[in-house]
Amino acid sequence: MRLHLPVLVCLVAALSSAAIPSPRDLWTKLILTQQWPNTFCAMEHCHPNFTYWTLHGLWPDKGNHCNSSWHFNSSEIEDLLPDMRKSWPDLLNPSSVQFWKYEWSKHGTCAAEAASLNSQHKYFSKALELYHKVDLNSILLKLNIIPSSDKYYNFSEIEEGLERFYGVKVKIQCVHPSKNSEPQILGQIEICFDAEFTLHDCGKHFSIDTFSRGLGDHPLGVNNPSGLSVCAHDIPVYYPPTP
Ligand SMILES: *[C@@H]1O[C@H](CO)[C@@H](O)[C@H](O)[C@H]1NC(C)=O
Ligand SMILES: *[C@@H]1O[C@H](CO)[C@@H](O)[C@H](O)[C@H]1NC(C)=O
Ligand SMILES: *[C@@H]1O[C@H](CO)[C@@H](O)[C@H](O)[C@H]1NC(C)=O
Ligand SMILES: *[C@@H]1O[C@H](CO)[C@@H](O)[C@H](O)[C@H]1NC(C)=O
């Protein structure tokens, strides 16, 4: 949604009694976050049976918990549920809707401040659409970056490969080793979009904001102090295969 500033100012003035977000509160970018289930489950002690990257969330770059009275209602996304279970599973409890409820409440209600995402159906279907569009699983395969128990990757190769493919900067997060001799473990990949859903650089300006939203964003996630952060360039990367 692009409104010229004077229009927006008039709108805000006209509706000043309503809780319209001021222009600087509206988000301008979205972060599509995907997680590697094996790494997540190693941290959170679950049993992964997903052999592909799954959705973690679609996060606007501004705002958290924007409308506490807008409750998650799975009936509104009934038609999306088969794909939700496959592409956006709750790794801790695959039969629960808690993860989607949490993501809606924390991020979806903020994304919904834009007309393009102003319903639960619009929000969840857009996240699924972008997830399928970026098709991270096949891109990694094409780049010959495959989960392996007997090979470590050079982080620059992963980063440069993805950036070459998408044509924008992505953000890749790892679990950092506790000892110098150990590799870092590939955990999460963020791909960013502008408000028109066009791929956009994941800029440094909002990496600080998302830093604390690693796997700890999960509703039941243990707040692991050695959790995820941007991978280091000089440490080999372990991409753990399904046990
Ligand atoms: C994972 O395991 C659960 C419970 O055993 C099962 O319901 C689900 O279909 C499995 N998912 C996949 C992708 O195999
Ligand atoms: C919050 O959500 C409720 C329920 O959908 C809606 O009626 C209300 O207008 C929303 N409030 C704001 C400030 O958007
Ligand atoms: C959930 O959504 C359905 C379909 O839109 C609606 O019929 C139902 O009343 C909603 N439930 C609640 C608790 O809002
Ligand atoms: C990793 O790859 C980059 C080029 O993509 C290369 O410059 C660098 O030397 C490599 N590092 C290691 C440790 O192999």
- pLDDT single digits (tens) 155-174: 999 999 999 999 999 999 99
Mutate to test the pocket of ligand 4, among 151, 154, 231, 234 (most ligand atoms within 8 A of CB): 154
What's residue 202's pLDDT?
95
Inside any domain, residue 222? yes
Q: What range does the domain containing 189 cover? A: 27-238
Q: Is 177 part of any domain?
A: yes
> What is the pLDDT, as a whole number, of residue 224?
40
To the query of whether residue 132 is one of the catalytic residues in this protein, the response is no
pLDDT for residue 208: 34
Structural domain count of the chain: 1
The answer as to whether 189 is a domain residue is yes
Q: Model-level pTM?
A: 0.83
7 inside domain: no
- Binding-site residues, ligand 3, Cβ < 6 A: 73, 75-76
User: What residues have CB less than 8 Å from 90, skipping those under 6 apart?
Assistant: 96, 97, 98, 99, 100
Probe ligand 3: pick from 67, 70, 76, 79, max atoms within 8 Å of CB?
Answer: 76
Averaged confidence pLDDT in the chain: 85
**16 occurs within a structural domain:** no
161 falls within a domain: yes
Residue 14 lies in a domain: no
**Local structure of 151: helix, strand or coil:** coil
**Domain CATH for 42:** 3.90.730.10
Å from CA of 15 to ligand 3 middle = 28
Kindly state whether residue 98 falls inside one of the protein's structural domains.
yes
pLDDT band at 49 (very low <50, low <70, confident <90, very high): confident
For position 10, what pLDDT does the model report? 43
